[in-house]
Amino acid sequence: MLKSTSARAALSSLALGLCAALASVGPAFAQAAAAPVPNKGDTAWLLVSSLLVLMMSIPGLALFYGGLVRSKNMLSVLTQVMAIVSLAGLLWAFYGYSIALGDTGGHYLGGFGKIFLAGVTPASVSATFSNGVVVPEYAYMVFQMTFAMITPALIVGAYAERIKFSAVLLFTFLWLTIVYFPIAHWVWATPAPDDLAAAAKALAAAADEAARKAAQGKIDELIAAAGWINQGRGVGEFLMNGVGALDFAGGTVVHVNAGIAGLVGAVMLGKRIGYQREALTPHSLTLTMVGTALLWVGWFGFNAGSNLEANGATALAFVNTMLATCAAAFSWLVSEWAIKGKPSLLGMASGAVAGLVAVTPASGYAGPMGSIVLGLIVSPVCLMFVSKVKNALGYDDALDVFGIHCVGGVVGAIATGVLVSPALGGVGVTDYTNIAGANAGTYAMGQQLISQITAVVATLVWSGVASAIIFKLVDIVVGLRVSRDEEREGLDLAEHGERAYSY
Amino acid sequence: MKIVMAIIKPFKLDDVRDALTGVGVHGLTVTEVKGYGRQKGHTEIYRGAEYAVSFLPKVKIELAVADELVGRVVETIEQVARTGQIGDGKIFVSPLEKVVRIRTGESGEDAL
C-alpha cells in the first residue's frame, strides 16, 4: 500500500529501469529489509522548514503585499493573508491532506482514508526521495500544510484593495478544494521509493511467471495511485510518454497555479477606482523590503525543505535558491536601471521574488551555475510583463501576482526540464526501480520539456477555468467587490473597522 | 511689526534656524507643507508604472519680527536657503497688527 506519497522525482523510463534491474540484480537483493525509522536530524529539519514556510506567509508575504498597497488598505491585506493561512490549515487537516497527498487514490485525486487525519500517528511515517529514509508523517503533513497555506495567500496581491472579505474566505475555501488539492496530487503524489524498489527487487527475483506477474502488478498499482503529471500517465499519456514532469518545490502547483488564478481574479473583479488615473503608490516600501527579506529566508524552508530529509541534495537546493535569487535581484536592478533610468528597491525586491519563484521547481534538480542563469533570465521577462504587457492589456493585477508568480513560475518550470540535464550541471532524473544503476533514470531533454510544458498548460487550464467559475460563484453568493464609497474610504475602516496607522 | 513667512527646501531648515538665531530671532513656527511652483513635480516609477507627483514637500516657516529686524531676517533666509536650483522657495512679508504673549498678557513688541 502506498502509505503516503512524498518523493517527487520523476520515474522516467520505467520499462528501461526494469530491464536493467532484471539484468543485473541477483537474488540477494530480494531479502526484506527492516522497516526504516525516522532520523532525528531529518525530523528536526522538516519541522524547522515548516516554520520557515509559515514565516513566508505571515508575516513575510503579508508585509510584502501590505507595503505595496495604500495605507488605507494595509490592514485588509494583513487580515486577508492571516485569515487564508488559518483557514487553509484547517481544511488541510480536515480533508486536504487526505485527498492531495495522504491517502492512496487514482491519477487525479487521492482517497478519503485520512480525512480528519485519521490514521496519522506519532509512529506513522512518510517516504522521502531516498530508499530507506522516512520522516514522521506528522512532520510531512504539517510541512505540506504550509504550502497549502501560502498558495491561496499569494492570490491576495491580484484582488487587493477592492475585494470583500467574505468573498476572500469563500473563494479560498472553494479554490483550495477544487484547484489546489487536486493539482498538488497530480504533481506530487508519487510512489514511495521503498515500495517501488521492493517491487522491482521482487520482479527481478521472481522465479516463475506468477511471481513476476504479482510483482509487476504491484508496480502497476503503485503507478496507478500516483498523480498523472507526476508519472506522465492518464490524460497526459500521449504527450508525456510516461515521463513525469519535474517540480521540486512547487513551481507549477504553487506559483503558476496562484498566478493564473490571480489574473482571472484581477480581470473578473475589474480595476480599482482610479487605476491609471490616480497615483496608487505603495505606502511603505520599507515594509515591502522587510517582507521580501522574510520571504527570501523562509524560501529555504520551502525549497531546501522540500527534499524532506537533510542531506547533500538539501544543501544543493539551498545553494540553488540562494544563487538564483541573487542573480534575479541583481538582474532586475540592472534591467530597470537600463530601461527606466533608476535602480529601485522595489525593482530589486521584485527581482528577488521572481528569482525565488523561478528556482522553486528547479532547486533540487539544477546545478548552481544553471540556477544563476535562470535567475538572470527570469527578471527581465517578468519586468516586461509587469511594465509593458499589463499596461497593454489593461487588467489591474494590483500587486503583480500574474506578472511575477505565474510568469516566473512558467519560466522556472520549463527551464527545470533543461537545467536538470547532467550535461548542464543538473542532477539528472531518478528511476527508483533501477536499483543496480543507483536509481539513475534516462533523461532526454526534448521529452522532458514536453512533459514540463504539459504540466504548465494543465495547471493554467484547470486553475484558470476553475478559478473563473469559482469567482463567478462567489460573486453570485456574496458579491466580489465592496461598494465605491467603501473602496474610496479604504477597506481597513470599511471592512474591518480599524486603521493601520494613527497620526 | 511684520510677519515673515517663507517656503523653503526641507533640508535647509536647520541652517536657516541657526542663522536666524544668530541675527536675534527668538522663535519661529515650522509646518511641513506640499505645493508647487516653477519646479513643478517629479516622476516616480513603481515596477514600471509611472506616476507624476505634482506637489513637492516643502517646509513653511513663520516668524513675527520687529520692524527694524525685518530686513536682516529676510536677507538671512534668502542667503542661507539658497541653493541656486529651481525650487528654493519664496519669502513673504506682511504687516502684523497685534501680538499677545499668552502667559503674561504682554502685547506689541514686548511680546515678541
Among A333-347, A434-448, B60-74, the range scoring the smallest mean pLDDT is A434-448
pLDDT at A305: 97
Q: Which residues pair with A134 in a beta bridge?
A: A127
Q: pLDDT band for position A313 (50/70/90)?
A: very high
Residue A18 clears pLDDT 50, i.e. is over it: no
- Kindly state whether residue A501 falls inside one of the protein's structural domains: no
CATH of B2-111, one of 3.30.70.120, 3.30.390.30, 3.90.105.10, 3.40.50.300: 3.30.70.120
Nearest to A487 by CA among A283, A280, A285, A260: A280
Q: Which residues contact B71 (CB under 8 A, 6 or more apart)?
A: none
Contacts of B52 in chain A (CB under 8 A): 279
- A387 and B44: CB-CB below 8 Å? no
Q: What pLDDT is stored for residue A6 in this prediction?
A: 39
Domain that holds residue A136: 17-25+39-190+226-482
Q: How far is CA B83 from CA A20, A103, B11, B51, B87, in A?
A: 81, 73, 11, 27, 9
What is the pLDDT, as a whole number, of residue A450? 96
Alpha carbon of A461: minimum distance to chain B alpha carbons (Å): 28
For residue A239, tell me if it sits in a domain: yes
Residues 6+ apart with CB under 8 A from B43: B50, B51, B52, B53
- Bond before A59 cis per omega within 30 degrees: yes
How many other CB atoms are found less than 10 A from the CB of residue A224? Answer: 16
In a domain, A213, yes or no: no
Range in A108-112, A276-280, B1-5 the model is least confident about: A276-280
B45/A281 Cβ within 8 A: no
pLDDT above 90 (res A432): no
Chain A's closest residue to B51, CA to CA, is A279
**Percent of the residues in chain A that have a pLDDT greater than 70, as a whole number:** 93
For residues A229 and A186, is the Cβ–Cβ distance under 8 A? yes
- Asked if A344 lies within 8 A of B45 by C-beta distance, the reply is yes
pLDDT at A469: 98
Query: Would you state the cell numbers that stand for residue A309, as one nine-digit string?
Result: 530529509
A316-348 burial, b at 16+ Cβ within 10 Å, e below that, comes to bbbebbbbbbbbbbbbbbbbbeebbeeebebbb
pLDDT mean over B85-101 = 94
* pLDDT in the model for residue A24: 43
- Confidence (pTM): 0.87
Question: Are A323 and A309 contacting, i.e. CB atoms less than 8 angstroms apart?
Answer: no
Chain A residue with minimum CA distance to B50: A279
What is the ipTM metric for this complex?
0.72
User: A33 pLDDT exceeds 60?
Assistant: no
In chain B, residues with a C-beta closer than 8 Å to the C-beta of A383 are: 47-48
In which element (H, E) is residue A290 found? helix A285-303
Asked whether residue A216 is assigned to any structural domain, the reply reads no
User: Which range scores top for mean pLDDT: A188-202, A424-438, B40-54?
Assistant: A188-202
Q: Does B62 touch chain A (CB under 8 A)?
A: no
Q: If you average pLDDT over each of A27-31, A235-239, A365-369, which comes out highest?
A: A365-369
Contact A99, A283 (CB under 8 A): no
A97 CA to centre of own chain = 15
For residue A198, pLDDT over 70 is answered with: yes
Give CA–CA dist A4/A195, Å, rounded.
Answer: 11
- Chain A residues in contact with B48 by the CB 8 A cut-off are 336, 340, 383, 386-388, 391
Q: Determine which of A25-34, A123-132, A364-373, A448-457 has the lowest per-residue pLDDT on average.
A: A25-34
The tens digit of pLDDT for each residue in B9-67 reads: 999 999 999 999 999 998 999 999 999 988 777 888 888 788 888 889 999 999 999 99
Give me the residue spans of the domains in chain B: 2-111
Interchain CB contact of B51 with A (< 8 Å): yes
Identity of the residue numbered A163? I
pLDDT value at residue A2: 36
Q: Is the pLDDT of residue A260 over 50?
A: yes
DSSP annotation of A274: T
Q: Do A340 and B45 touch (CB under 8 A)?
A: yes
- State the pLDDT at residue A3: 37
Indicate whether A9 pLDDT > 80. Answer: no
| CATH number of the domain bearing residue A369 | 1.10.3430.10
Number of domains in chain A: 1
pLDDT in tens, A204-227: 898 899 999 999 999 999 999 999
A29 pLDDT tier (thresholds 50, 70, 90):
very low
CA A181 to chain centroid: 11
Q: What residues in A contact B53, CB-CB < 8 Å?
A: 279
| Chain A CB within 8 Å of residue B102 CB | no
Question: What pLDDT, on a 0 to 100 scale, did the predictor assign at position B99?
Answer: 94
Residue with cell 508519472: A231
Number of other CB atoms surrounding residue B94 within 10 Å: 8
pLDDT above 80: residue A400: yes
Asked if the C-beta of B43 comes within 8 angstroms of chain A's C-beta atoms, the answer is no
In chain B the first and final C-alpha atoms are separated, in Å, by 9
Q: Can you list the positions of beta strands (E) in A176-293? A: none
Asked if B47 lies within 8 A of A400 by C-beta distance, the reply is: yes
Contact assignment for A387 to B46 by CB distance below 8 Å: no
Chain B residue whose CA is closest to A348: B47
Quote the CA–CA distance of A338 and A349 in Å, as a whole number.
Answer: 17
The predicted structure's pLDDT at residue A436: 78
Residue A21 vs residue A389, higher pLDDT = A389
d(CA A425, CA A416): 12
Q: How many CA within 13 A on the CB side of residue A194?
A: 22
Residues of B in contact with A342 (CB under 8 A): 45
Cβ of residue B46 closer than 8 Å to a chain A Cβ: yes
Cβ–Cβ gap A400/B46 under 8 Å = no
Beta bridge partners of B50: B45
Contact between residue A282 and residue A288 where contact means Cβ atoms under 8 Å apart: yes
- Copy the grid coordinates of residue A88: 487553509
Measured between beta carbons, the chain B residues lying within 8 angstroms of A344 are 45-46
What is the average pLDDT across A132-154?
97
Output the average pLDDT for chain A: 92
Q: What is the pLDDT of residue A32?
A: 52
- Mean pLDDT within A475-500: 96
Q: Which residues contact A408 (CB under 8 A, 6 or more apart)?
A: A255, A259, A353, A354, A355, A357, A358, A378, A381, A382
Query: Shortest CA distance to A406 belongs to which of A335, A365, A463?
Result: A463
